[in-house]
Amino acid sequence: MHELLRGDWHVHSTFSDDAVSTLEENVAAASATGLTSLRCVDHVRASTTWVPELVAAIAALRVPDGLAVRSGVEAKILDVDGTIDMPAGVRLGDGGIDAVLLADHQVPTPDGPWSPRATVEALQGGLPAITVVDWILEATTRAARRVAGHGQVAHPFSILPKIGLDEDAIDDGRLAWWAEELAAAEAIVEVNEKWACPGPRALRALTTADVRVVASTDSHVAGDVGRYDRVVGLLQGVRR
């Protein structure tokens, strides 16, 4: 087994409205699958009030020997400046959340987040695709700097297929710059089973820049924890 596949760094629980498994069920599934690392993650917005309860619930888990459990919150990147849609005052590090998962659920623009539909309409109206690509790259790296040392880039570039683009729209120079900026921010980057991203070119750029890459299922049900298929293919593509 590839060492990355021994961890699942993005697993949701019932603290998220769209997940069905509890923290305890996720821990049991991770142990049964033979994982050594698990990050328990749930969605937040600026208005979210339950982060202290999540931290306390994770700290109270009974964790089997051989499994390390970490905490995280997943928050949307809002704009090109890297503004993060998370509650003010969330404590990062000792006694708080271990990591902020930086998510491209919408397109971060200079004027705030655009929906995929609005972005497609702008592209059809003549907005250059490379402009949108640059917004995404800049927003991600700036968000990582805002939480330096505690950032995890969630499902990078998953927004591209939703707006009719793919990773081929990003040239090698831009990928190298993105990876180097993430390295400077001490961010980690996940290769995501649910969205099958990022691709081998991006993963090679991250490896070249010495960015730590981890695997995640983005699970919303315990039965999916630690079960990889698409990630295996992406990792094999890096070695070709």
Residue 82, pLDDT > 80, answer: yes
Cα distances from 66 to residues 31, 168, 188, in angstroms, run: 8, 40, 22
pLDDT tens-digit series, residues 131-190: 999 999 999 999 999 999 999 999 999 999 999 999 999 999 999 999 999 999 999 999
Looking up tokens 């003010």, which residue turns up?
88
Cα distances from 70 to residues 95, 100, 179, in angstroms, run: 12, 11, 24
Exposed e or buried b per residue across 175-190, where buried means at least 16 C-beta atoms within 10 angstroms of its C-beta: bebbbbbbbebebbbb
pLDDT class of 122 with cuts at 50, 70, 90: very high
Could you give the domains of the chain? Answer: 3-239 (3.20.20.140)
